[in-house]
């Protein structure tokens, strides 16, 4: 029995060429940029402006930090009564020392003395007019010998608002106030010494290696009021 014969037809395969995913993404991105170019341009401008603001702020902070005063107090040439108090200006700008304030404590009592002037030394014993006071200009990197701690204690006895024997004082805080041409505000450095009696000798032991810088607005304002009060009381 003969099998039926089927006519053979050619099979046509139609190949569809698809678009690559990368090309689709690129086309979508281009269309998005065209549709939102104004928003993107504004955003880029704002981002650039923000970068410049950050840069200018860092530059201003660095310049301000380099020009702000740095007043250092140091006990030198011993640790007893004969030790010297050195005041150094480690800032980049000259300063003008306006006052030295001594806050002292003894047995729960406290007192304050303004000891800027060397009035414990007789005029004929002073080598120059500059030696009569610790007030005056101090250039960058320069230091001032404010006198021995024995001299400072004598001035405290002369000008203190609470008369306490120097041998009884247990704690002494020295604050040096100064002004600069860069800023109209008053700056200051402060250091505290604990006074320890060793026989007939007194040892002035600093409580900290570093000098505390009074730079905050509140601290400077309080210091300014103290100086103004001293001027009013002296009149």
Task: Say if 28 falls within a structural domain.
Answer: no
For residue range 33-78, list pLDDT tens digits in order. 777 778 878 888 888 888 888 878 787 666 666 667 899 999 998 8
For residue range 138-185, list pLDDT tens digits in order. 999 999 999 999 999 999 999 988 888 888 899 999 999 998 876 667
What pLDDT was estimated at residue 6?
45
Confidence band for 16, pLDDT divided at 50, 70 and 90: very low
Q: Which of 44, 66, 88 is the last residue of a domain?
A: 66
Q: Which of 66, 85, 115 is the last residue of a domain?
A: 66
Task: Say if 27 falls within a structural domain.
Answer: no
Task: Say if 213 falls within a structural domain.
Answer: yes
In the chain, the number of structural domains is 2
Same domain flag for 61 and 90: no
Same domain flag for 49 and 115: no
Closest CA to 214 of 170, 177, 174: 177
Same domain flag for 98 and 208: yes
Task: Say if 76 falls within a structural domain.
Answer: yes
Same domain flag for 116 and 227: yes
User: Of 71-75, 107-111, 179-183, 194-198, which range is least confident?
Assistant: 179-183
Could you tell me the end-to-end alpha-carbon distance of the chain, in angstroms, rounded to an integer?
144
> DSSP alpha helices (H): ranges in the chain?
21-35, 37-67, 149-159, 217-234
Same domain flag for 61 and 96: no
CB 114 within 8 A of CB 159: yes
Same domain flag for 62 and 74: no
Same domain flag for 93 and 187: yes
Residues in the chain: 235
16 or 193, which is more confident?
193
What pLDDT was estimated at residue 199?
74
Same domain flag for 59 and 124: no
| Domain with 167 in it | 69-234
Same domain flag for 49 and 133: no
SS3 132: helix
d(CA 132, CA 108): 33
User: Of 160-164, 184-188, 217-221, which range is least confident?
Assistant: 184-188
Q: Tell me how far CA of residue 233 lies from CA of 6, 187, 227, in angstroms.
A: 129, 22, 10
Same domain flag for 176 and 187: yes
Task: Say if 89 falls within a structural domain.
Answer: yes
Task: Say if 39 falls within a structural domain.
Answer: yes
21 or 82, which is more confident?
82
Query: Strand pairing of 95-106 and 136-138?
Result: antiparallel
SS3 186: strand
Task: Say if 11 falls within a structural domain.
Answer: no
Task: Say if 2 falls within a structural domain.
Answer: no
Q: Which of 21, 51, 66 is the last residue of a domain?
A: 66
Same domain flag for 199 and 88: yes
Q: What is the DSSP letter of 18?
A: P
Contacts of 207 (CB under 8 A, 6+ apart): 191, 192, 193, 194
Average pLDDT over residues 14-20: 49
Same domain flag for 117 and 42: no
């Amino acid at each position: 029995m003969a099998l039926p014969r089927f006519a053979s037809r050619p099979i046509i395969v139609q190949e569809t060429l698809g678009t690559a995913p990368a090309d689709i993404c690129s086309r979508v991105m281009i269309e998005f940029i065209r549709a939102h170019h104004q928003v993107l341009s504004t955003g880029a401008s704002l981002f650039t402006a923000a970068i410049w603001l950050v840069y200018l702020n860092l530059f201003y902070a660095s310049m301000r930090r380099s020009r702000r005063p740095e007043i250092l107090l140091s006990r030198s040439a011993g640790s007893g009564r004969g030790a010297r108090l050195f005041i150094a200006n480690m800032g980049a700008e000259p300063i003008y020392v306006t006052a030295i304030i001594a806050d002292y404590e003894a047995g729960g009592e406290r007192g304050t003395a303004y000891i800027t002037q060397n009035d414990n030394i007789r005029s004929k014993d002073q080598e120059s007019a500059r030696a009569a006071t610790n007030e005056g200009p101090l250039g960058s990197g320069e230091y001032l010998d404010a006198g021995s701690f024995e001299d400072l204690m004598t001035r405290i006895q002369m000008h203190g608002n609470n008369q306490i024997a120097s041998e009884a004082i247990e704690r002494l805080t020295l604050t040096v106030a100064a002004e600069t041409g860069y800023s109209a505000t008053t700056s200051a450095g402060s250091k505290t010494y604990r006074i320890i009696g060793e026989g007939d000798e007194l040892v002035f032991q600093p409580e900290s290696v570093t000098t505390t810088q009074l730079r905050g607005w509140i601290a400077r304002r309080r210091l300014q009021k103290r100086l103004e009060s001293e001027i009013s009381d002296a009149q």
